[in-house]
Amino acid sequence: LSPDFYPLISFKAASDPSNKLSQWNSTSPDPCSWHGVSCLPRNRRVSAIVLENLNLTGSILPLTSLSHLRILSLKANRFHGPLPPSLANLSSLTLLYLNHNHFSGPLPPSLTALTRLFRLDLSHNSLSGPIPLSLNRFSRLLTLRLHLNNFHGHLPNLSLPNLVDFNVSSNHLSGPIPLSLSSFPQSAFSHNSPSLCGPPLTQCTHKAIPALASPLNPRNDTVFSPQRRTPKLGLMLLLLIVLADLLVLAFVSLLLYCYFCRKRNHSGEGKEVRDSKERGEDSQMVFFEGEKRFQLDDLLRASAEMLGKGVFGTAYKAVLHDGTLVAVKRIKEVSVGGKREFHQRMQELGSLRHCNLVAFRAYYFAKHEKLLVSDYMPNASLSYLLHGNRGPGRTPLDWSSRVKLAGGAARGVAFLHDNKVTHGNIKSTNVLVDVAGNARIADFGLSIFAAPTTPNAYRAPDARKHTHMSDVYSFGVLLLEILTGKCPSAEAPDLPRWVRSVVREEWTAEVFDLELMSYRDVEEEMVAMLHIAIACTATAPDQRPTMSHVANMIQDLRPAGTRTQSFN
């Protein structure tokens, strides 16, 4: 018998007078099969309890012995009385929803043992007492909803770096709002004592200051008294101006340095290309749309900047004499076939046009030089948007943009498959973003020229050669990358396996990129996207969906009104 059986049975006995949990009894002794209960497959311990809107009542005390519990949602029931005094056993909880009940009394000190919480929602209850400063121990917390309770006293100086969803409105809180919380909207603080003050509410008046200006709290009078703030501010402003000047100076010097460095490098790169011409190779640039817009010489003379090195060669951004930006890929080696095959293949690929593909414009083939010219995409790659520039000032890629890019990319690959082309190298550096913010698939169909390479983190384990179904697998890994924020090539060489193991253990919430946890009301969409990704990365190729099915499923993730243009 599971050690969680008796706590659950006593919870039912105490809280389910209307017998909504009729399944919960000793004739079915495995709690893992009961309504609202999920277990870890590893040890059959209860990991999630979701019992919402079931008219349950009484106390939740028996649940506090469920030491493997990660998710507890009892919202919209009739639980009452104080929160259990000892919550320390529940230290694995990540999501705790007790909102819309009748809990009363203060927050128990043991609440702060739940240091793994992402979300804590205790709103719509009758909880009272102060909001303790010890909530600062919830360093992962994204959501803290305490509104519509009877909390009183001053708001503590909460410093929770990940907090994005915060509400303490409709309580009896008073005194100044700490600076650390002042960026939340007025609605997060409304309907409290009239003496709750400071941004985003009205400035604190002098009346509010005496309570703070006690000898125990010497800092506060300088923070909240406008008279004393002015000279400090003046000095700060001066310092800021000096600092800003220094920064501008440093930035200009850096720009000049980069400019000269680049000039030096380019002269080197250009020489290499010219060398091949000097070796007497007289091939022509071949354009796909008939109209010749530039010659090889134009390309050689163009100022170029290296974008990066890939499997097939090195990519450059080049500015032609008329200002046109193009991307030029110098192919290292064509491992399979010769000029005729290359020409034939490029004719096929060059004719493909779709709003989610990076169009090839031209190519050049000579013995010692193979160049591919395509449209330059100015808005970076999906890889860069997800993982690049991970500094403190970085803006994470929001959920809507992720869905939009995933949907556009799926349409692009589906179009290739409809035209009997296998991409062969789907990954986030090959999903580029155009001026309008739409995803465009790059480097399609080139894998045919490459020798079979070592497996990469996107490649289907079964794929000895590239097929549509191996593309679907790679696309599934790409979706997982979008959902988890993990870079397959750098952080998670077998992302599908990792995700499957976490999901199997019912820790789905932990799969998602922490940066996505801040978006409310999209959990369903994220879970739906996760299921698409898992289907795409099925081990058996014939169990994977087709790419057009994947594109349709991503399109259906969002209600029609919120769909983005790239889906049209």
Ligand X SMILES: Nc1ncnc2c1ncn2[C@@H]1O[C@H](COP(=O)(O)OP(=O)(O)OP(=O)(O)O)[C@@H](O)[C@H]1O
Residue closer to ligand X by CB (options 20, 329) is 329
Asked whether position 315 contacts ligand X by CB under 6 A, the answer is yes
- Looking at 73, 429, 474, 566, which residue binds ligand X (CB under 6 A)? 429
Per CB under 6 A, the list member of 327, 386, 421, 511 interacting with ligand X is 327
Residue labelled with tokens 């399109």? 555
Could you say which residues in the range 335-364 bind ligand X, by CB under 6 A?
358
Residue whose beta carbon is closest to ligand X:
310
Smallest gap from residue 328 Cβ to ligand X (A): 9
The answer to whether 28 touches 22, Cβ cutoff 8 Å, is: no
Q: CB of 420: closest distance to ligand X in angstroms?
A: 21
Q: How far is the CB of 268 from ligand X (least distance, A)?
A: 19
Q: Applying CB under 6 A, which of residues 47, 73, 356, 425 lies at the interface with ligand X? A: 425
| Whole-angstrom distance, CA of residue 519 vs CA of residue 484 | 14
Q: What string marks each residue from 439 to 478 as x (binds ligand X by CB under 6 A) or -?
A: ---xx-----------------------------------
99 lies in the binding site for ligand X (CB under 6 A): no
Give me Rg for the CA atoms of the chain.
30
Q: Nearest approach, Cβ of 490 to ligand X (angstroms)?
A: 12
Q: Are 163 and 144 a contacting pair, CB within 8 Å?
A: yes
Which segment (100-108, 186-194, 264-272, 429-437) binds ligand X by CB under 6 A?
A: 429-437
**Region 159-178 residues binding ligand X, contact defined as CB under 6 A:** none
Instruction: By CB under 6 A, name the one of 307, 479, 551, 557 that touches ligand X.
Output: 307
Q: How far apart are CA 383 and CA 377, in angstroms?
A: 14
User: Quick count: other Cβ atoms within 10 Å of Cβ 266?
Assistant: 16
* Residue 329 marked in a binding site: yes
| 481 near ligand X, judged by CB under 6 A | no
- Supply the DSSP string of 444-507, one letter for each residue: TTGGGGSPPPPP-TTS-TT-SS--HHHHHHHHHHHHHHHHH---TTTT-TTHHHHHHHHHHTT-
Measured between alpha carbons, how far is residue 371 from residues 342, 375, 562 in Å? 11, 13, 41
Binding to ligand X in span 23-82, by CB under 6 A: none
| List 14, 311, 487, 528, residue binding ligand X (CB under 6 A) | 311
Closest CA to 40 of 69, 5, 63: 69
Task: Say which amino acid occupies 353.
Answer: R
Structural contact between residues 453 and 461, judged by C-beta atoms closer than 8 angstroms: no
- Which residue, 407 or 445, is less far from ligand X as judged by CB? 445
Does 312 sit near ligand X (CB under 6 A)? yes
Residue 373 bridge partners (DSSP):
328, 362
User: What residues from 364 to 393 belong to the interface with ligand X (CB under 6 A)?
Assistant: 374-377, 381
Q: What proportions of the chain, in percent to the nearest 5, are helix, strand and coil?
A: 40, 15, 45
Is 487:382 a contact under the CB 8 Å cutoff?
no
**What is the DSSP secondary structure assignment for residue 430, as one 8-state letter?**
G
Q: Which amino acid belongs to residue 219?
A: R
Q: How far is the CB of 538 from ligand X (least distance, A)?
A: 24
Which residue, 94 or 429, has its beta carbon nearer to ligand X?
A: 429
Q: For residue 384, count CB atoms less than 10 angstroms from its CB and return exposed for 0-12, middle for 13-18, buried for 19 or more.
A: middle
Output the known binding site: 329
Binding site for ligand X (CB under 6 A): 307-312, 315, 327, 329, 358, 374-377, 381, 425, 429-430, 432, 442-443
Output the known binding site for ATP: 329
